[in-house]
Amino acid sequence: MKFEELENKFSKYIGTEGCVSVNSGTAALHLALEALQLPKDSEIIVPQFTMIATAWAVYYARLNPVFVDCSDDLLIDLIDLEKKITYKTKVIMVTHVYGRVVNMDAVSELAKKYNLRIIEDAAEAHGCKWGNKMVGSYDIGCFSFYRNKIVCGEEGGAIVSDDLEFLKIVKDMKSMSFGEEHNYMHKRIGFNYRMTNSQASLIIDSLGEIDKNIKIRRQNESLYDSLIAKKYHMPRRDVPWVYDIKVDNNKIVDDLRKQNIAARYGFKPVGSCAPFLLDVSQTKSYEMSKKIMYLPVGPDVNKADIHFIVEKLKDLQ
Protein backbone atom coordinates (compact mmCIF):
# COMPACT_ATOMS: atom_id res chain seq x y z
CA MET A 1 0.00 0.00 0.00
CA LYS A 2 1.32 3.45 -0.94
CA PHE A 3 0.18 5.03 2.33
CA GLU A 4 2.24 2.47 4.26
CA GLU A 5 5.24 3.20 2.06
CA LEU A 6 4.83 6.89 2.84
CA GLU A 7 4.59 6.18 6.57
CA ASN A 8 7.84 4.23 6.47
CA LYS A 9 9.69 6.82 4.42
CA PHE A 10 8.41 9.82 6.35
CA SER A 11 9.18 8.39 9.80
CA LYS A 12 12.68 7.58 8.57
CA TYR A 13 13.08 11.14 7.26
CA ILE A 14 11.88 12.74 10.51
CA GLY A 15 13.79 10.24 12.64
CA THR A 16 10.93 8.76 14.66
CA GLU A 17 9.99 5.18 15.43
CA GLY A 18 6.66 5.45 13.71
CA CYS A 19 4.25 7.43 11.53
CA VAL A 20 0.52 7.23 10.86
CA SER A 21 -0.84 8.90 7.74
CA VAL A 22 -4.18 10.73 7.76
CA ASN A 23 -6.19 12.76 5.27
CA SER A 24 -5.21 16.28 6.42
CA GLY A 25 -3.03 18.26 8.79
CA THR A 26 -6.13 19.29 10.73
CA ALA A 27 -7.05 15.64 11.17
CA ALA A 28 -3.52 14.96 12.44
CA LEU A 29 -3.82 17.62 15.16
CA HIS A 30 -7.30 16.52 16.18
CA LEU A 31 -6.47 12.83 16.20
CA ALA A 32 -3.28 13.35 18.20
CA LEU A 33 -5.33 14.94 20.98
CA GLU A 34 -8.07 12.30 20.82
CA ALA A 35 -5.57 9.45 20.97
CA LEU A 36 -4.05 10.81 24.18
CA GLN A 37 -7.44 10.07 25.80
CA LEU A 38 -7.23 12.97 28.24
CA PRO A 39 -9.68 13.84 31.03
CA LYS A 40 -12.58 16.02 29.87
CA ASP A 41 -11.49 19.11 31.81
CA SER A 42 -7.91 19.02 30.46
CA GLU A 43 -6.28 22.27 29.39
CA ILE A 44 -4.18 22.44 26.24
CA ILE A 45 -1.63 25.21 25.71
CA VAL A 46 -2.23 26.73 22.25
CA PRO A 47 -0.30 29.51 20.48
CA GLN A 48 -2.33 32.65 19.89
CA PHE A 49 -0.49 33.31 16.59
CA THR A 50 -1.11 30.20 14.53
CA MET A 51 -3.38 28.84 11.83
CA ILE A 52 -6.88 28.29 13.19
CA ALA A 53 -6.71 24.48 12.78
CA THR A 54 -4.37 24.29 15.78
CA ALA A 55 -7.02 25.81 18.06
CA TRP A 56 -9.96 24.08 16.41
CA ALA A 57 -8.34 20.68 17.00
CA VAL A 58 -8.63 21.32 20.74
CA TYR A 59 -12.27 22.35 20.36
CA TYR A 60 -13.03 19.29 18.22
CA ALA A 61 -11.55 17.09 20.96
CA ARG A 62 -13.84 18.72 23.56
CA LEU A 63 -10.85 20.02 25.53
CA ASN A 64 -10.05 23.50 26.82
CA PRO A 65 -7.59 25.70 24.90
CA VAL A 66 -5.43 28.10 26.89
CA PHE A 67 -4.04 30.71 24.52
CA VAL A 68 -0.47 31.95 24.83
CA ASP A 69 0.71 35.13 23.14
CA CYS A 70 3.58 35.36 20.66
CA SER A 71 6.97 37.05 20.79
CA ASP A 72 8.30 39.45 18.15
CA ASP A 73 9.36 36.46 16.02
CA LEU A 74 5.71 35.25 15.95
CA LEU A 75 6.57 32.11 17.90
CA ILE A 76 4.94 31.18 21.19
CA ASP A 77 6.14 33.28 24.14
CA LEU A 78 7.82 30.73 26.40
CA ILE A 79 7.69 32.97 29.48
CA ASP A 80 3.96 33.52 29.04
CA LEU A 81 3.59 29.80 28.36
CA GLU A 82 4.93 28.75 31.75
CA LYS A 83 2.71 31.29 33.49
CA LYS A 84 -0.37 29.68 31.86
CA ILE A 85 0.38 26.13 33.08
CA THR A 86 -2.03 24.86 35.75
CA TYR A 87 -2.74 21.50 37.37
CA LYS A 88 -5.23 20.89 34.52
CA THR A 89 -2.65 21.40 31.76
CA LYS A 90 -1.87 18.18 29.90
CA VAL A 91 -0.33 19.23 26.57
CA ILE A 92 1.85 21.99 25.17
CA MET A 93 1.02 22.61 21.52
CA VAL A 94 3.54 24.70 19.59
CA THR A 95 3.50 25.88 15.98
CA HIS A 96 6.65 26.41 13.96
CA VAL A 97 5.36 29.50 12.14
CA TYR A 98 6.28 30.00 8.46
CA GLY A 99 9.31 27.68 8.87
CA ARG A 100 10.66 29.50 11.94
CA VAL A 101 11.36 27.03 14.72
CA VAL A 102 10.33 27.22 18.37
CA ASN A 103 13.08 26.64 20.97
CA MET A 104 12.34 22.96 21.51
CA ASP A 105 14.98 22.54 24.22
CA ALA A 106 13.07 25.05 26.34
CA VAL A 107 9.71 23.46 25.51
CA SER A 108 11.05 20.00 26.36
CA GLU A 109 12.35 21.27 29.72
CA LEU A 110 8.93 22.70 30.57
CA ALA A 111 7.21 19.47 29.50
CA LYS A 112 9.54 17.45 31.71
CA LYS A 113 9.17 19.86 34.64
CA TYR A 114 5.35 19.72 34.59
CA ASN A 115 4.92 16.17 33.21
CA LEU A 116 3.25 17.31 29.97
CA ARG A 117 3.03 15.94 26.45
CA ILE A 118 4.20 18.01 23.47
CA ILE A 119 2.40 18.29 20.14
CA GLU A 120 4.31 20.11 17.42
CA ASP A 121 2.23 21.67 14.66
CA ALA A 122 4.86 21.28 11.95
CA ALA A 123 2.58 21.91 8.97
CA GLU A 124 4.81 24.78 7.83
CA ALA A 125 8.14 23.26 8.82
CA HIS A 126 9.00 20.17 6.78
CA GLY A 127 12.75 19.67 6.87
CA CYS A 128 13.32 22.15 9.72
CA LYS A 129 15.61 21.30 12.61
CA TRP A 130 16.18 22.46 16.15
CA GLY A 131 19.77 21.59 16.94
CA ASN A 132 20.42 18.14 15.48
CA LYS A 133 16.82 16.93 15.68
CA MET A 134 14.13 17.25 13.06
CA VAL A 135 11.06 19.27 13.91
CA GLY A 136 8.26 16.88 14.81
CA SER A 137 10.51 14.40 16.60
CA TYR A 138 10.37 15.79 20.15
CA ASP A 139 7.25 13.87 21.24
CA ILE A 140 4.28 14.03 18.87
CA GLY A 141 4.66 15.74 15.51
CA CYS A 142 1.74 16.70 13.26
CA PHE A 143 2.28 17.50 9.59
CA SER A 144 0.16 18.68 6.69
CA PHE A 145 0.72 17.63 3.08
CA TYR A 146 -1.72 20.12 1.58
CA ARG A 147 -0.76 21.29 -1.90
CA ASN A 148 0.89 24.53 -0.68
CA LYS A 149 3.18 22.81 1.83
CA ILE A 150 6.89 22.01 1.42
CA VAL A 151 6.17 18.28 1.14
CA CYS A 152 2.79 18.03 -0.53
CA GLY A 153 0.12 16.14 -2.38
CA GLU A 154 -3.37 17.41 -3.04
CA GLU A 155 -4.15 16.81 0.64
CA GLY A 156 -2.95 14.67 3.53
CA GLY A 157 -1.32 14.70 6.91
CA ALA A 158 0.74 12.60 9.30
CA ILE A 159 1.39 12.01 12.99
CA VAL A 160 4.90 10.93 13.96
CA SER A 161 6.24 9.79 17.33
CA ASP A 162 8.54 7.39 19.14
CA ASP A 163 5.56 6.42 21.33
CA LEU A 164 4.42 3.29 19.52
CA GLU A 165 1.61 2.53 21.97
CA PHE A 166 0.19 5.98 21.29
CA LEU A 167 0.53 5.49 17.54
CA LYS A 168 -1.28 2.16 17.82
CA ILE A 169 -4.28 4.05 19.21
CA VAL A 170 -3.91 6.71 16.48
CA LYS A 171 -3.91 4.02 13.78
CA ASP A 172 -7.08 2.46 15.16
CA MET A 173 -8.94 5.74 15.70
CA LYS A 174 -8.16 7.07 12.22
CA SER A 175 -10.02 4.11 10.73
CA MET A 176 -13.29 4.25 12.70
CA SER A 177 -11.80 2.36 15.68
CA PHE A 178 -12.70 -1.03 14.27
CA GLY A 179 -10.09 -2.69 16.46
CA GLU A 180 -8.10 -5.79 15.60
CA GLU A 181 -11.21 -8.00 15.60
CA HIS A 182 -13.17 -5.77 13.17
CA ASN A 183 -16.43 -7.14 14.57
CA TYR A 184 -18.35 -3.83 14.66
CA MET A 185 -17.95 -3.50 18.41
CA HIS A 186 -16.25 -0.06 18.62
CA LYS A 187 -14.58 0.32 22.00
CA ARG A 188 -13.55 3.96 21.54
CA ILE A 189 -14.62 6.85 19.34
CA GLY A 190 -13.21 6.70 15.83
CA PHE A 191 -12.88 8.86 12.75
CA ASN A 192 -12.73 8.41 8.99
CA TYR A 193 -9.32 10.05 8.61
CA ARG A 194 -7.68 7.55 6.26
CA MET A 195 -5.27 8.66 3.55
CA THR A 196 -5.80 7.40 0.00
CA ASN A 197 -3.04 5.64 -1.90
CA SER A 198 -3.29 8.22 -4.68
CA GLN A 199 -2.57 11.03 -2.22
CA ALA A 200 0.29 9.05 -0.69
CA SER A 201 1.86 8.53 -4.11
CA LEU A 202 1.98 12.28 -4.78
CA ILE A 203 3.45 12.94 -1.33
CA ILE A 204 6.15 10.29 -1.78
CA ASP A 205 7.20 11.98 -5.03
CA SER A 206 7.33 15.35 -3.25
CA LEU A 207 9.34 13.91 -0.35
CA GLY A 208 11.89 12.69 -2.88
CA GLU A 209 12.36 16.31 -4.03
CA ILE A 210 12.61 17.92 -0.59
CA ASP A 211 16.35 18.72 -0.64
CA LYS A 212 16.04 20.47 -4.02
CA ASN A 213 12.88 22.23 -2.83
CA ILE A 214 14.56 23.53 0.33
CA LYS A 215 17.60 24.74 -1.61
CA ILE A 216 15.41 26.83 -3.94
CA ARG A 217 13.41 28.23 -1.02
CA ARG A 218 16.56 29.39 0.74
CA GLN A 219 17.89 30.95 -2.45
CA ASN A 220 14.60 32.81 -2.96
CA GLU A 221 14.64 33.95 0.67
CA SER A 222 18.14 35.39 0.19
CA LEU A 223 17.04 37.23 -2.94
CA TYR A 224 14.09 38.79 -1.09
CA ASP A 225 16.47 39.76 1.73
CA SER A 226 18.73 41.57 -0.74
CA LEU A 227 15.87 43.48 -2.40
CA ILE A 228 13.66 44.42 0.55
CA ALA A 229 14.78 47.03 3.07
CA LYS A 230 16.03 45.54 6.33
CA LYS A 231 13.49 47.43 8.41
CA TYR A 232 10.81 45.14 6.99
CA HIS A 233 12.72 41.89 7.59
CA MET A 234 11.57 39.23 10.02
CA PRO A 235 14.02 36.82 11.70
CA ARG A 236 15.32 34.18 9.31
CA ARG A 237 13.52 30.90 8.95
CA ASP A 238 15.17 27.48 9.21
CA VAL A 239 13.33 26.47 6.04
CA PRO A 240 11.15 29.24 4.58
CA TRP A 241 7.64 27.98 3.95
CA VAL A 242 6.79 31.56 2.96
CA TYR A 243 8.63 34.90 3.14
CA ASP A 244 7.03 36.96 5.90
CA ILE A 245 7.70 40.67 6.39
CA LYS A 246 6.53 43.33 8.84
CA VAL A 247 5.06 46.44 7.22
CA ASP A 248 3.28 49.51 8.59
CA ASN A 249 -0.13 48.32 7.40
CA ASN A 250 -0.64 44.93 5.79
CA LYS A 251 -3.76 46.03 3.92
CA ILE A 252 -1.43 46.48 0.95
CA VAL A 253 -1.97 42.75 0.51
CA ASP A 254 -5.29 43.53 -1.18
CA ASP A 255 -3.57 45.73 -3.79
CA LEU A 256 -0.91 43.10 -4.46
CA ARG A 257 -3.59 40.46 -4.98
CA LYS A 258 -5.26 42.65 -7.59
CA GLN A 259 -2.02 42.36 -9.56
CA ASN A 260 -2.13 38.54 -9.33
CA ILE A 261 0.62 38.41 -6.71
CA ALA A 262 0.11 35.63 -4.18
CA ALA A 263 0.56 37.87 -1.14
CA ARG A 264 -1.25 36.88 2.04
CA TYR A 265 -2.10 38.37 5.41
CA GLY A 266 -0.43 36.97 8.51
CA PHE A 267 -2.53 34.98 10.93
CA LYS A 268 -5.21 36.61 13.05
CA PRO A 269 -5.13 35.72 16.77
CA VAL A 270 -6.99 32.42 16.95
CA GLY A 271 -8.66 33.39 20.22
CA SER A 272 -10.53 36.13 18.36
CA CYS A 273 -12.00 33.68 15.86
CA ALA A 274 -15.09 31.47 16.15
CA PRO A 275 -16.02 29.74 18.34
CA PHE A 276 -13.84 31.46 20.97
CA LEU A 277 -14.48 35.14 20.10
CA LEU A 278 -12.25 36.54 22.85
CA ASP A 279 -10.99 40.10 23.26
CA VAL A 280 -7.36 39.92 22.10
CA SER A 281 -6.78 43.64 21.61
CA GLN A 282 -4.03 43.81 24.22
CA THR A 283 -1.93 40.98 22.80
CA LYS A 284 1.25 41.04 20.76
CA SER A 285 -0.48 38.65 18.37
CA TYR A 286 -3.14 41.26 17.61
CA GLU A 287 -0.52 43.96 17.07
CA MET A 288 1.47 41.73 14.72
CA SER A 289 -1.64 40.60 12.83
CA LYS A 290 -2.03 44.16 11.50
CA LYS A 291 1.55 44.31 10.21
CA ILE A 292 2.61 40.82 9.13
CA MET A 293 2.17 39.72 5.54
CA TYR A 294 3.90 37.12 3.46
CA LEU A 295 5.06 36.47 -0.08
CA PRO A 296 5.59 33.25 -2.07
CA VAL A 297 9.01 31.64 -1.87
CA GLY A 298 8.53 28.11 -3.24
CA PRO A 299 10.02 26.39 -6.30
CA ASP A 300 7.29 27.77 -8.55
CA VAL A 301 8.69 31.30 -8.00
CA ASN A 302 11.72 32.39 -10.06
CA LYS A 303 14.08 35.37 -9.84
CA ALA A 304 12.08 37.44 -12.31
CA ASP A 305 8.91 36.83 -10.29
CA ILE A 306 10.61 38.01 -7.10
CA HIS A 307 11.97 41.17 -8.74
CA PHE A 308 8.46 41.93 -10.06
CA ILE A 309 6.85 41.30 -6.65
CA VAL A 310 9.35 43.52 -4.82
CA GLU A 311 8.95 46.37 -7.32
CA LYS A 312 5.18 46.29 -6.87
CA LEU A 313 5.64 46.14 -3.10
CA LYS A 314 7.89 49.23 -3.19
CA ASP A 315 5.27 51.12 -5.21
CA LEU A 316 2.75 50.56 -2.42
CA GLN A 317 4.93 51.57 0.53
Q: Tens digit of pLDDT for each residue in 51-86?
A: 999 999 999 999 999 999 999 999 999 999 999 999
Work out the percent of the chain whose per-residue pLDDT is above 90.
98
Give the pLDDT score at 317: 66
What is the pLDDT at residue 180?
86
Q: What is the pLDDT of residue 300?
A: 95
Q: Is the pLDDT of residue 178 over 90?
A: yes
Q: What is the pLDDT of residue 105?
A: 98
Please choose, from the candidates 28, 4, 31, the residue with its C-alpha nearest in 3D space to the C-alpha of residue 18: 4
pLDDT greater than 70 at residue 255: yes
Q: What does the pLDDT average to over 173-189?
A: 93
Q: Half-sphere exposure of 289 toward its Cβ, with a 13 Å CA cutoff? A: 20
Task: Note the pLDDT tens digit of each residue in 84-119.
Answer: 999 999 999 999 999 999 999 999 999 999 999 999
CB atoms within 10 A of CB 302: 12
pLDDT tens digits, residue range 286-301? 999 999 999 999 999 9
Q: What confidence score (pLDDT) does residue 314 get?
A: 87
The mean pLDDT value for 260-264 works out to 96
- pLDDT value at position 181? 86
Helix H or strand E encompassing 161: strand 157-161
What number of other Cβ atoms are within 10 A of residue 247's Cβ?
A: 18
How far is it, in rounded angstroms, from Cα 253 to Cα 239?
A: 23
Evaluate the CA torsion angle 27, 2, 201, 295 in order and state its sign: positive
Instruction: Domains for the chain: give ranges and CATH numbers.
Output: 2-207 (3.40.640.10), 210-316 (3.90.1150.10)
Work out the mean pLDDT of the chain and round it to a whole number.
Answer: 97
pLDDT at 315 over 90: no
User: How big is the chain by its Cα radius of gyration, in Å?
Assistant: 20
pLDDT tens column, 191-241: 999 999 999 999 999 999 999 999 999 999 999 999 999 999 999 999 999
What is residue 127's DSSP assignment? T
Report the predicted TM-score, pTM, of the whole model to 2 decimal places.
Answer: 0.97
Average pLDDT over residues 262-271: 98
Task: Let me know the angle formed at the C-alpha of 101 by 65 and 57, rounded to the nearest 5 degrees.
Answer: 25
